[in-house]
Structure 1
Amino acid sequence: MESNKIVYTSFSKFAVAMAVSQGASLAQAKKIIINSFERHPFHKEVSKIIKKVTLEKENLNILSNQCISICEDFGPDRDYVTLVLLLEKIYKNEDFQDIEKDTVSNIINNFKEEINRINANIPPPPLYNVLLETRAIAEWTSMFWLYPFIPKHKSEKEKPILLMPPYLGNDNSTRFVRKYLKSVGFKTYKWELGVNMINSKSLPKLIEKLDQIFEKHQEKVSLVGWSGGGIFAKIIANRYPEKVEQLITIGSPVWGVKNMKTPIVATLEFLRGTKLRERNEKFIKELEVIPKVPITCIYTKTDGLIPWKNCMEAETYRDDIKNIEVFGSHCGLGANATVLLTVANALNANLEKEKKPSIIEKVESLFFPKFWEQKGFSKFTNLFFS
């Protein structure tokens, strides 16, 4: 929350001033904006910040530019889209009068354009990460003997899961994920469309498959997509939230694809015969929208093919959006024990009642970067005695 606190302190003053400019009193403005943060994971902390806001004769353009400047100092971040969406929500509030609507609309549009500019500058994976992709061979080969030792937490119900492979991959790419999910009680389904070329023509067939699974089980279907498969999964979740239980992506570029910098761009463009930016604009635009279903995005900071920031959704937008970091290469994510555990745990967390983690589940946290980011020896004592 450290860097977020600085951003939200600046943003809160900007948002409150905007509400006041639309005819709300200071108290009304604070209440409306606090309510706008209702599903924000830092709701309590942000509410305290908003309550402390004081205004004099504030200039909205100056406040907007100050917030943009802070965001630019921190660098690209998908969470900035939360700020844009909240501003648009405040602007559309029916309680406000039509005062300076055009002016406010222009300020919001400028803010959005500046955020897009900042987020278009995510650097490509460093050469070191690209070279580390060779470890995927070891990850895949080691999984054959490691698999029997991975803990299995049985699911209470046989929920349907549709899995989608990465770019240039097929159903063999998701074999370990499917096998593991099946072993813990889920009903898994292949995508059965051959090699994934990330072609929008595959969408109608995937949607038809979703309909078939939905009708068969008479319940919503969870979508799991690795890399390019996650692109399809997110678009389907956006189009048919009434049929999708939740979305889980594994090393998938879930936003910013149009400006994404990756060492495989040249290869992609050679195989497709067109520039990435010249391809399906509607497809890319749909990918920017956040689905109205629970989301879990799995990523690795040592990804050598996709910038890891493009693999994270706006976790600050809703409390049912999670980003989980794992150790590993991009090409080895399909044979990564931590990924298997994360996918199964995420599915269970969103499908079943909350329960206290077992000792085995606590030990599993040792395999995640988040555990090792904690300082001091207390992280070990807290693991078992908190």
Structure 2
Amino acid sequence: MATLPFKDAALVKREELARRLALASEPCPDDARGPRWQLLLREFLWPLEPLRRKMGAPLEIAPARNPKTVLVLPGFGAHPIRMRWMARKLEKAGHTTKKWGLGYNLGATEERFRKVEKRLVDLHERTGEPLYLLGWSLGGVMARELAKAHPDKVAKVITMGSPFSGSPRANNGWRAYQAIAGHRVDEPEIEAVVHEKPPVETVALWSPRDGIVHPRSACGRPGERDRSVALRCSHMGFTLTHEAVEAVLGELDRD
């Protein structure tokens, strides 16, 4: 009898694994497609970005005219450390960056969203002013939803390669997302109409060279964001290139 709880737990784990594998194996119910495979393969070259930075011209960072507090949200499957280099550049300009405090981003579950929501509220109370949200990929989608829920606490949303427009399967990562997050990309655990623009200034950084998220999905349509800015980096390059840092610094200095 003492072994029954162990067997039950093992059975539950197997059933959950089977459920997640089934989610990852689902056929695409629409004709959405992610970027072509050649661009996807280039994403695996991201470890070379630091070398490319050293070989290129140095990044000149001017002092911020009006330093901001920036809450940084990582992309799906990424840890905040992946955005540390960019955060340091923003801090060099005089801005204050804050981590989201949740470690790896393993999906927009209700529990994870409520925790980052609490983080936003706490930071707003401590700083006494609206924050700027900088979200990479899925982090940008979550930033948009945070701004919808708390428009009084958010001054601006900047997304980087975030799939907020069109089909949620217009990317090369939706199967992995369903397997890891445990829910379908078009059935989030939080109530959300992802394409709707937050009631604060919202800027979408996107790239035609993105190998993960389709450019149209990250750029968005008029009315789904206030402005869009095209870069020439890969999806991974949104947090690793001089071009992306300059674009973010430019957006922070517009206000």
With the length of structure 2 as denominator, give the TM-score of the two structures: 0.80
Q: Distance in 2 between matches of 1:174 and 1:180?
A: 10
Alignment partner for residue 251 of structure 2, among 338, 341, 346?
346
Query: Is residue 2:101 matched to residue 1:211?
Result: no
Match of 1:156 in 2: 65
Matched-pair identity in %:
21
Q: Distance in 1 between matches of 2:182 and 2:135?
A: 25
Pick the structure with greater CA Rg: 1
Query: 8 Å contact 1:140–1:332 — kept in the other structure?
Result: no
Alignment partner for residue 150 of structure 2, among 234, 240, 244?
240
CA deviation after TM superposition for structure 1 residue 197, in Å = 1.0
Residue identity in the other structure for 1:227: S
Query: Is residue 2:180 matched to residue 1:180?
Result: no
Residue identity in the other structure for 1:139: E
CA deviation after TM superposition for structure 1 residue 281, in Å = 6.6
Q: Deviations over 1:249-301 (max 9, x none)?
A: 0111122354x232222222232444433443723x2x222111111111111
Match of 2:231 in 1: 326
Q: Distance in 2 between matches of 1:255 and 1:200?
A: 21
Query: 8 Å contact 2:151–2:199 — kept in the other structure?
Result: yes
Which runs of structure 2 are paired with 1:169-318 in the superposition (5 Å)? 169-198=78-107, 199-258=109-168, 260-280=169-189, 282-283=191-192, 285=193, 287-314=194-221, 316-317=222-223
Match of 1:368 in 2: none
Match of 1:128 in 2: 38
Q: 1:242 to 1:148 in 2, by over 3 A?
A: farther
Q: 1:216 to 1:158 in 2, by over 3 A?
A: farther
Query: Is residue 2:74 matched to residue 1:165?
Result: yes
Query: 8 Å contact 2:204–2:220 — kept in the other structure?
Result: yes
Number of equivalenced pairs: 225
Q: Structure with the greater relative contact order (CA < 8 A, sep ≥ 6): 1 or 2?
A: 2
Query: 8 Å contact 1:182–1:188 — kept in the other structure?
Result: yes
Residue identity in the other structure for 1:217: T
Query: 8 Å contact 1:302–1:327 — kept in the other structure?
Result: yes
Query: 8 Å contact 1:160–1:213 — kept in the other structure?
Result: no
Q: Deviations over 1:300-328 (max 9, x none)?
A: 111111111110233x439x811111112
Residue identity in the other structure for 1:317: G
Q: Deviations over 1:150-198 (max 9, x none)?
A: 1112112332110001111111011012101100011111112010012
With the length of structure 1 as denominator, give the TM-score of the two structures: 0.54
Structure 2: gaps (5+ residues): 1-29
Q: Distance in 2 between matches of 1:273 and 1:159?
A: 36
CA deviation after TM superposition for structure 1 residue 346, in Å = 0.5
Q: Deviations over 1:58-96 (max 9, x none)?
A: xxxxxxxxxxxxxxxxxxxxxxxxxxxxxxxxxxxxxxx
Residue identity in the other structure for 1:211: V
Residue identity in the other structure for 2:210: D
Query: 8 Å contact 1:122–1:307 — kept in the other structure?
Result: no
Q: 1:219 to 1:273 in 2, by over 3 A?
A: closer
Query: 8 Å contact 1:223–1:244 — kept in the other structure?
Result: yes
Which runs of structure 2 are paired with 1:10-159 in the superposition (5 Å)? 122-143=32-53, 145=54, 149-159=58-68
Query: 8 Å contact 2:178–2:184 — kept in the other structure?
Result: yes
Query: 8 Å contact 1:229–1:252 — kept in the other structure?
Result: yes
SS of 1:142 mapped into structure 2: helix
Q: Distance in 2 between matches of 1:221 and 1:147?
A: 33
User: Counting helix residues as a fraction of each chain, which structure ranks higher?
Assistant: 1
Q: 1:167 to 1:140 in 2, by over 3 A?
A: farther
Q: Distance in 2 between matches of 1:292 and 1:278?
A: 23
Q: Distance in 1 between matches of 2:163 and 2:58?
A: 31
User: Counting strand residues as a fraction of each chain, which structure ranks higher?
Assistant: 2
Residue identity in the other structure for 1:212: D
Q: Distance in 2 between matches of 1:166 and 1:278?
A: 19
Q: 1:157 to 1:147 in 2, by over 3 A?
A: farther
Q: Deviations over 1:107-159 (max 9, x none)?
A: xxxxxxxxxxxxx755321111112212312114434x369921112112332
Query: 8 Å contact 1:122–1:309 — kept in the other structure?
Result: no
Match of 1:372 in 2: none
